Amino acid sequence: MKKGIFIGLCALWLTGAKAQQIDVQHYDIDLTLNDTTDQVAGIVTIAVKYLQNTTRLKIDLAGMKVSGVHGNNKLLSYEQDANALYIKVNAKAGDRSAYTVVYSGTPKDGLIISKNKYGDRTFFTDHWPDRAHQWLPCIDHPSDKATVTFTITAPDHYTVVANGAKTAEINLPGQLKRTVYDEKVPLATKVMAIAAADFAATHSGDVEKIPVYSYVFHEDSSHQGYARATNILPYFIEKVGPFQFEKLANIQSKTIFGGMENAGAIFYAENSPEYPGLESLLAHEIAHQWFGDAITETDWRHLWLSEGFATYMTLLYMEHTYGVDTLRASLKEDQAKIIEFGKKRKTPVVDTTVHSNYMQLLNANSYERGGWVLHMLRRKLGDELFWKGIRQYFKDFSGRNASTDDFRKEMEKVSGQDLKTFFTQWLYTTAIPELQVNLGYNENTHAVKMEIIQQQTPLFEFPLEYTLDKSKGVQTIQVKDKITTVIIPTAQRPAGIWLDPDTNLLADIRK
């Protein structure tokens, strides 16, 4: 998702998926919406595979009232507390079962029922990071991915959009309409989504048989900016791999974020149609369809595999479209954000200290620093090996979950290089290089003396590029010690020295 564009807002899961009782295979979600109250009624069938012997199955659910649970054609005993539903079962590891939960209530979060800026009533899910269970019985963690079918019954003036392909739209008595969407690609709950509003819908075009749609509020129907997605989508298909979902819908919404990367049904903030940076925002959320949606991080600590990737893939698209100077300008802006963030909070990119309130992970480490790591990896490997590794990573992990080590190993296999030191210092170390660079010119020896002092702990290993004359090319120094001294012969005192002239090193450099 993209944070902070419109409203300034944008851990270890102790019972992670492998320690969980079950692996959810499919959700069948039947939801009824109305215009009279904010109460919703749901019937959700959860198909599961047991990972261990279980007598008490825990399902995440908060604030909604369960009225019955069915399984194996019979009523089942259950208990409910403030955060979960507990079903009495007798299952062995490897068993498969399906449970139907009947419930109702007024969601406090996760499903946002409100009015848009024009005063019209709307329904939008907003699940990130673990807010789906505020209205939906589920395993609300990115490591448990499942396919999903949505059957939404709502007043017929709403256009309903959800993940997957629309398989039915049926008019019902009482001015109601039933809409069905089926998503065959396994998703984490964070990117499952439904929207119901009075939309103006446009088929913006097809990209390699993938239909691309725009959904905006009727009052904004003159804005066609979302159609730029048809120009962005081909870039990522070519560079990364096939688009995995049945469609790409770009949807004006009530999300708290600038954009939210729901799989095949991206939500953008209300003011996005007029946002000057819309192209970059679209690229960010579309990049997430590969990184975050098709490949999902195993745990919140690896969020950079989603946000850092989307950040850098956006810069790569912008470089492709507008040139390398656009990339460098954005990298410099991001570098400043990273340095400023590091003064306030000293944590590594892979942050193991956060066990709740995952919103705090939406920071410059996950986004900009994660993107910078990919940029330096690209420069380290070269474009050919970098993109080959990215494509292989996507091929091997699409539809699955990945950790930082999984990504490292993929890039090592493709490049034939040992990347442990690179990943450790840039992703698992709090600091970034803080360099004091002292320069002097010796008139007698006709040489520049450059002294590079690493002021941070621990020491880093990295290439530092410099030039005395931009027209004569760039030189590289390998830095690994506390103090590195370089003597540079030059016939006359140079007008200056340019450090990192091509913006390839994440560092705080002081001269």
Overall fold of domain 198-294: Zincin-like (3.30.2010)
Size of the chain, expressed as the number of residues it contains? 511
Under DSSP, the state recorded for 273 is G
How far apart (Å, rounded) are the C-alpha atoms in residues 192 and 130? 11
- Asked whether the domain spanning 301-311+343-427 has the same topology as the one spanning 198-294, the reply is no
* Domain ranges for the chain: 20-197, 198-294, 301-311+343-427, 434-510
How far apart (Å, rounded) are the C-alpha atoms in residues 164 and 129? 21
Q: The domain at 434-510 falls in which architecture? A: Sandwich (2.60)
How far apart (Å, rounded) are the C-alpha atoms in residues 197 and 154? 10
pLDDT by 10s per residue, the chain, length 511: 776 543 333 322 333 334 689 999 999 999 999 999 999 999 999 999 999 999 999 999 999 999 999 998 899 999 999 999 999 999 999 999 999 999 999 999 999 999 999 999 999 999 999 999 999 999 999 999 999 999 999 999 999 999 999 999 999 999 999 999 999 999 999 999 999 999 999 999 999 999 999 999 999 999 999 999 999 999 999 999 999 999 999 999 999 999 999 999 999 999 999 999 999 999 999 999 999 999 999 999 999 999 999 999 999 999 999 999 999 999 999 999 999 999 999 999 999 999 999 999 999 999 999 999 999 999 999 999 999 999 999 999 999 999 999 999 999 999 999 999 999 999 999 999 999 999 999 999 999 999 999 999 999 999 999 998 776 789 999 999 999 999 999 988 888 899 999 999 999 999 8
At the top level of CATH, which class does the domain 20-197 belong to?
mainly beta
Instruction: Specify the pTM.
Output: 0.95
Asked whether the beta carbons of 309 and 303 are under 8 A apart, the reply is no
| Edge-to-edge strand list for the sheet holding 475-479 | 475-479, 462-467, 498-499
Asked whether the beta carbons of 67 and 100 are under 8 A apart, the reply is no
What is the signed CA dihedral for 358, 194, 293, 250, rounded to 10 degrees?
-110
pLDDT at position 1 = 77
CATH superfamily of 301-311+343-427: Neutral Protease Domain 2 (1.10.390.10)
pLDDT at position 15 = 36
